[in-house]
Amino acid sequence: MSKVTFKPGTMVNPVPVVMVSCGDMAGETNIITIAWTGIVNSEPPMTYISVRKSRHSHSLIEKSGEFVINLTTEKLAFQTDYCGVKSGRDVNKFEEQKLTPVPGQHVKCPMILEAPVNLECRVREVHQYPSHDMFVADILAVHADDSLFHENGKLELERAGLLCYSHGEYFGLQKHPLGKFGYSIMKPKTKKRMEAEARKKKQTRQDLQTKPKREQSGLDLQAKPKRKKDTEQKADTQKPFYQHSAGRKAGSAEKTGSKQKDKS
């Protein structure tokens, strides 16, 4: 296999794309789309964002020492792009894109309600480089939409429809994983057990999806109608094959940069 050689460049793809909210809810706020972000330490949990010195958000973060990383989704792709190409000097991005600012628990800058996951961050140190400054920060708290949690308490991020950025374009992540960490050396017995758990998990999801429909229609879709003969013989003891469910509410609906996007 032959290779084509390029000059040095930022060819690390794909990368996460996030909307970073900054400023102060009592004053000026802004959103900047960032693709140069990631984890730098596990304990304590630390992250970073790299921001061009000329961006409006740079001065806001530099002044407050705080920001929030808001994960983005396929449904938020338009807003994500907008917040990366428009400047907060000219527009109020929250208002223009109908995004909802909500207060965090530890920082003064807002979180984005529509984002599935929000990470409150406080700057620990700043590394200055020719084009960008890297804000290294402690992750103070993580907030996740309650609709993403399984009944056993596990956070299922694959249901969020997360977004990534690759060579100037946005892509949604595929819904089904190719494998879990360590699957390449997994023992057959462990693999078999995990496959069984995955099947059970899939069935549970299907049950949760059909349950609201049954409640809305008032019909027990699993029951079968009785034969006429059986119904006549047991008229006093047999219940009809359907159950009236007026007054029962349906389950609540599921809540609805290469060219890196670090504009604003």
Instruction: Please say whether the dihedral angle defined by the alpha carbons of residues 119, 120, 125 and 126, taken in this order, is positive or negative.
Output: positive
Domain ranges of the chain: 15-172, 184-222
Strands (E), 24-168: 29-34, 37-41, 46-52, 66-71, 101-102, 111-112, 117-128, 132-144, 163-166
Contact 78, 98 (CB under 8 A): no
pLDDT score for 215? 55
What does DSSP assign to residue 193?
Answer: H
Q: Are strands 18-23 and 101-102 parallel, antiparallel or unpaired?
A: unpaired
The CA distance from 15 to 167, in Å, is 9
Intra-chain end-to-end CA distance of the chain, in Å? 41
Question: Which pair of tokens denotes residue 205?
Answer: 């999801």
Q: What is the mean pLDDT of each run of 10 residues along the chain (264 residues)?
A: 94 96 95 97 98 97 98 97 96 97 96 98 98 98 96 91 95 82 84 83 77 52 50 46 39 42 50
Q: What is the pTM of this model?
A: 0.74
Q: What residues contact 154, with CB distance under 8 A and at least 6 apart? A: none
Gyration radius from the chain CA atoms = 25
Dist. CA 175–CA 188, nearest whole Å? 24
State the Cα–Cα distance between residues 170 and 40, nearest whole angstrom.
24
* CATH superfamily label, 15-172: Electron Transport, Fmn-binding Protein; Chain A (2.30.110.10)
**Alpha-carbon 46 to chain mean position:** 19
Question: What was the pLDDT predicted at 239?
Answer: 45
Q: Write the CB contacts of 225 (distance below 8 Å, at least 6 apart in sequence).
A: 241
How many whole angstroms separate alpha carbon 145 and alpha carbon 255? 8
What does the pLDDT read at residue 114? 98
pLDDT at 182: 85
**How many angstroms separate the Cα of 245 from the Cα of each of 3, 206, 214, 248?**
66, 21, 9, 6
Helices (H), 49-116: 56-64, 77-85, 93-96
Show the tokens assigned to 248.
């029962």
Let me know: does 249 contact 17? Beta carbons within 8 Å.
no
- How far is 238 from 231, CA to CA, in rounded Å? 7
